[in-house]
Amino acid sequence: MRAVWSYWSKPFNAHRNRVWASERHHLLSWILSTETAKRHYRPAVLHTDDAGARMLVDGLGLEFDAVHTGLNAIADADPDWWALGKLYAYRAQSEPFVHVDSDVFLWKPLPYELESAPILAQNAEPFIAGQSFYQPEAIEFALSGAVEGWLPPEWQWHRASGLASRGECCGVFGGNRVDFIGHYAAQAIRLLEDAGNRGALNALSDKRVHMVVVEQYLLAACIEYCRAHADSPFHDVAIRYLFGSIEEAFDSDTTARLGYTHLIADAKSDPELAHRLEARVAREYPAHYERCLRHLETGAVSVA
């Protein structure tokens, strides 16, 4: 199974750089993510843009078996849709793969039942009334005023189905049914890029939050839609999770047993975790660590 990473420089430069303790720790996370996953999965493939290739390959010296700069195609896209680059990377896959976020470290290979799964993801995220950051109704309301607005039929069906709503956490995501994954990613990309949608979606506040709905809720909706329609070519698609619940994903004993770390949300800026990240890279990957420091001294960070 191939390991895939994606890096779209535009949203990182615009706002996502601020979630890390420092630029140094962002780069150290890339080192640890790629080096741990490459122990288990090859080839290692990066989908990025020219600025990302300069930073990660030319500057940081990360070694991939293939580097694709197809994300240059979205140079003019709104950086608030920060996961658009991931969607492009998902759509580009033609062989079984696992996409690994750069804040995820695979100390062990994924369990066989995930490696052999049609679709794999970190964990399900059920909607919690009044507490969830999943707000599909906000996107629906925005598009209701569009003359030629478009919502994926899977989204519309699922919202009317009465089924419990969930997102699929994509800290790790992929699987063997790359045909389905390509279909889902194409639907998500069209939702963001459709000419009839752009004006209405641009008026949304908190697009960075709503990006999670597009990436992770639509994935769940596509899975359930296809399973409910016997005439769908993806009728037999099923998803398997690394963790059985959100609680498991945050349980230190469970994550240690599975050999999985995800520096999600505020963990990226936690001083103690930042110290441990730096110490680990310096100890286990000293050549990469020194290369990172030299790269930062030149001032050649990720500015496009």
| pLDDT value for 150 | 96
| pLDDT value for 130 | 65
Average pLDDT, the chain: 95
Strands 260-262 and 104-106: antiparallel
Closest CA to 246 of 138, 144, 133: 133
Positions in the chain whose pLDDT score sits under 70: 16, 130-131, 299-304
User: pLDDT tens, 256-271?
Assistant: 999 999 999 889 999 9
| pLDDT value for 15 | 81
User: pLDDT tens, 36-87?
Assistant: 999 999 999 999 999 999 999 999 999 999 999 999 999 999 999 999 999 9
| pLDDT value for 102 | 97
| pLDDT value for 95 | 98
Residues 6+ apart with CB under 8 A from 106: 36, 37, 39, 40, 41, 100, 172, 259, 260
| pLDDT value for 189 | 98
Residues 6+ apart with CB under 8 A from 158: 165, 220, 221, 224, 225
pTM for this structure? Answer: 0.95
Residue with tokens 């037999």: 236
Q: Token pair of 154, please?
A: 């899977």
| pLDDT value for 301 | 46
